[in-house]
Amino acid sequence: MRRILNVADGEWLGIILFGLYTGQRLSDITSLAWNQIDTAEGVVRYVTGKTGAVLDIPLAAPLLDWIGKAKVPKSPNAQVFPVADASTVSQNSKAFAKILVAAGLRKELPDHKAHKQGRSAKREASEVTFHCLRHTATSLLKNAGVSDVVAMEIIGHKTEAISRAYTHIEQKTMKRAIDALPDVTKEIGK
């Protein structure tokens, strides 16, 4: 994340922070309006495009800091990320891919026109996309000891199975869990 944040700037720094700290989809973040952010209450309200779910997500301190530094327009209905909002999901995905390239986390984007390949040519899928921030947010929450129910509510997962698929437990979290087990051998042989 540090490598990505070090090369991101402008709107993209905010978009990435919202992705990491709310776990929401790229299209829901890029369409965010200022009236969905309530700094007094410390929440951001999403109505997700995919499921229509209404999510009131608490704002993490780094997000509040970014919001405090952002240039807020006079109209509360204005978009938080107007350039990204005016772009297609595909264009935004490519813009994020360029950030990943600059961070050294993926290969340079291929130029299919230079190779005389059209849009129907087979594409090489990247393992790292903006959607990975949903996995990262879920994993960070669960590695921090947040309950499954709370993590699901924040991310907007409807089932435990989906939430589990997004969870990647760190080795140090598993080590803390193992270290918390009682030593039952201390009572043997007494």
* Residue 21: partners with Cβ closer than 8 Å, 6 or more residues away: 59, 60, 62, 63, 137
Q: What fold is seen in the domain 2-107+126-130?
A: hpI Integrase; Chain A (1.10.443)
What angle do the packed helices 61-69 and 10-22 form, to 10 degrees? Answer: 160
Mean pLDDT value of segment 80-105: 96
| C-alpha–C-alpha distance, residues 48 and 90, integer Å | 18
**pTM of the predicted model, to two decimals?**
0.80
Average pLDDT, the chain: 88
Instruction: Say which residue, 107 or 116, is predicted with more confidence.
Output: 107
**Which pLDDT score, from 0 to 100, does residue 190 have?**
61
Q: Which of 11-15, 49-53, 84-88 has the lowest mean pLDDT?
A: 49-53
